[in-house]
Amino acid sequence: MKNSALFKQMKQEGEKISMITAYDAPGGRHAQDAGMDVILVGDSAGMVVHGYDSTIPVTVDDIVLHTKAVKRGAPDTFTVADMPFLSYHGSIDKTVQNAGRLMQEAGAEAVKVEGRGTVLDVTKTLTEAGVPVVAHLGLTPQTVGVLGGYKVQGKDAESAAELIDDAKKAQEAGAIMLVLECVPHQVAQMVTKSLTIPVIGIGAGRHTDGQVLVWHDLLGFTESRVPKFVKQYVKLSGPIQKALKEYNRDVKTGRFPEEEHTFSMDEMEIKELYG
Ligand code: KIV
Ligand code: NA
């Protein structure tokens, strides 16, 4: 399995790092078979799997369950589990306990925390306890209520400088990697150059050390509009809807099941049965 030292080396050698989210065992297996470097069990699960309209309702139990499933499918792929909303803002005991569950109980190789300020202390404490921490800056969906919506971050010189400073602090605090979401590519490039740890972008342009996308966005599971930074490599919702409609029709018209889908008894046994 690849690890944080190798990811750092990949950055040094200019080899890009691929990351994708996954939430269940088949997702993990597909990601691993496709050769993804890193899997993220994102709290985006709240939106793309559970149908909430934000990541706020997601719990540690939810991420534990998803991570366990993903690891069954991808035992050999470095897997990062998101620390959910408010699961790392209470006592340090509680934070360590929550991170511990994601690693020990669920099998994650690292955890991800959003934000700056006191989150840097959390990063340091977890790191000192042996928990590899991935930082997440720029657009941080867990603080969408405070940010006032899902907007591009670091667009002016002042907020960009702040972002670069925060990124350096996250690295100093011990973060092994940084996810940078929804920032101008110029800012992402400066952050990437300023750090020795890999910077994984989403909506951050092409100059970062790697990219991450959400499973359902990349595979086109949703009919609704996707963000500008998403590339839909396939639109699976079309074929899925077509197949389900066909099945529905075939059940109602009796066209399914056919002989090839049907079990049968021997003649002798039938005779015995009917006497
Ligand atoms: O939850 C998630 O999927 C994420 C990625 C968008 C980085 O945090
Ligand atoms: Na997340």
Its pTM stands at 0.96
Q: pLDDT grade, residue 124 (50/70/90)?
A: very high
Task: Identify whether the C-beta of residue 204 lies closer than 8 Å to the C-beta of residue 155.
Answer: no
pLDDT in tens, 205-225: 999 999 999 999 999 997 778
- Determine what percent of the chain falls in helix, strand and coil, rounding each to the nearest 5: 45, 15, 40
My answer on whether 210 and 267 are in the same domain is: no
Contacts of 134 (CB under 8 A, 6+ apart): 80, 110, 111, 112, 113, 175, 176, 177, 178, 179
My answer on whether 193 and 208 are in the same domain is: yes
Task: Identify whether the C-beta of residue 71 lies closer than 8 Å to the C-beta of residue 108.
Answer: yes
Q: Can you give 168-225 as a three-state secondary structure string? A: HHHHHCCCCEEEEECCCHHHHHHHHHHCCCCEEEECCCCCCCEEEECHHHHCCCCCCC
Q: What is the pLDDT of residue 203?
A: 98
Residue 82, annotated as binding a ligand: yes
Mean pLDDT of 102-110: 98
Sign of the alpha-carbon torsion through 169, 175, 176, 182: negative
My answer on whether 100 and 37 are in the same domain is: yes
21 in ligand 1 pocket by Cβ < 6 Å?
Answer: yes
Domain count, the chain: 2
CATH code at position 205: 3.20.20.60
My answer on whether 18 and 150 are in the same domain is: yes
CA of 40 relative to ligand 1 center, distance in Å: 7
Cβ atoms < 10 Å from Cβ of 17: 22
Q: What is the pLDDT of residue 251?
A: 98
Q: Which range, of 108-112, 162-166, 215-219, 271-275, averages the lowest pLDDT?
A: 271-275
The verdict on ipTM greater than 0.90 is yes
Q: What distances in angstroms separate CA 95 from CA 84, 99, 108, 128, one per listed residue?
A: 11, 6, 15, 13
Quickly list DSSP for 87-125.
TTSS-HHHHHHHHHIIIIIT--SEEEEE-STHHHHHHHH
My answer on whether 201 and 258 are in the same domain is: no
My answer on whether 117 and 244 are in the same domain is: no
179 in ligand 1 pocket by Cβ < 6 Å?
Answer: yes
My answer on whether 155 and 109 are in the same domain is: yes
CA of 180 relative to ligand 2 center, distance in Å: 11
Mean pLDDT of 221-241: 92
Q: What is the pLDDT of residue 225?
A: 83
Report residue 215: phi and psi, to 5°: -40, -55
My answer on whether 101 and 185 are in the same domain is: yes
My answer on whether 139 and 265 are in the same domain is: no
pLDDT in tens, 242-260: 999 999 999 999 999 999 9
Average pLDDT score, the chain: 97
Task: Identify whether the C-beta of residue 79 lies closer than 8 Å to the C-beta of residue 116.
Answer: no
Mean pLDDT of 168-173: 98
Domain hosting residue 138, numbered range:
4-235
Sign of the alpha-carbon torsion through 146, 58, 229, 175: positive
Query: Residue 245: what residue type?
Result: K
Instruction: Calculate what percentage of the chain has a pLDDT beyond 90.
Output: 94
My answer on whether 110 and 244 are in the same domain is: no
180 in ligand 1 pocket by Cβ < 6 Å?
Answer: no
